[in-house]
Structure 1
Amino acid sequence: MGDTGIVPAGLAAAGSKLWRSITADYDVEEHEHLLLLEACRVADRLDRLAMESAGAPLTVKNFKGDEVANPLLVETRQQGIVLARLLASLRLPTGDEDEALRRPQRRGGARGT
Structure 2
Amino acid sequence: MQLTPVDSASGGAPLPAGLTEDGSGQSLWRSIVDDYTLRPDELRLLADACELADRIDYRKQRADELHREVGENLLIRGSTRQLVRNPLIDEARQELAEQRKDRIALNDLLARLKLPDLDPDRDGDDQGRDGASSGAKRSASA
TM-score of the pair, normalised by structure 1: 0.72
Query: 2:108 — aligned with what?
Result: 85
Q: 1:26 to 1:77 in 2, by over 3 A?
A: same
In structure 1, the gaps of 5 or more residues are 107-113
3-state SS, counterpart of residue 54 of structure 1: helix
Tell me the amino acid that sits aligned with residue 108 of structure 2: R
Shift of 1:99: 3.2
Return the alpha-carbon distance in structure 2 between the equivalents of residues 36 and 26 of structure 1: 11
Shift of 1:4: 2.5
- Which is worse superposed, 68-77 or 35-44? 68-77
Q: Deviations over 1:63-93 (max 9, x none)?
A: xx7x968101110110000000000000012
In structure 2, the gaps of 5 or more residues are 1-5, 75-84, 121-126, 131-137
Verify: 1:99 aligned to 2:109, yes or no: no
User: Which of 1, 4, 7 matches 2:15?
Assistant: 7
Q: Deviations over 1:37-69 (max 9, x none)?
A: 000000000010111111527xx9xxxx7x968
TM-score of the pair, normalised by structure 2: 0.58
User: Which of 52, 58, 62 matches 1:48?
Assistant: 58
Tell me the amino acid that sits aligned with residue 128 of structure 2: D
User: Which of 24, 46, 64 matches 2:34?
Assistant: 24
Return the alpha-carbon distance in structure 1 between the equivalents of residues 96 and 139 of structure 2: 34
Query: 2:98 — aligned with what?
Result: 75
CA RMSD of aligned residues (A): 3.1
Question: Does structure 2 conserve the Cα–Cα contact (< 8 Å) formed by 1:14 and 1:40?
Answer: yes
State the structure with bigger RCO (CA 8 A, min sep 6), 1 or 2.
Answer: 2
Tell me the amino acid that sits aligned with residue 27 of structure 2: K
Return the alpha-carbon distance in structure 2 between the equivalents of residues 90 and 49 of structure 1: 24
User: Which of 33, 38, 51 matches 2:48?
Assistant: 38
Query: 1:110 — aligned with what?
Result: none
Shift of 1:105: 9.4
Structure possessing the higher radius of gyration over alpha carbons: 2
Return the alpha-carbon distance in structure 2 between the equivalents of residues 31 and 104 of structure 1: 12
Q: How many residues align?
A: 99
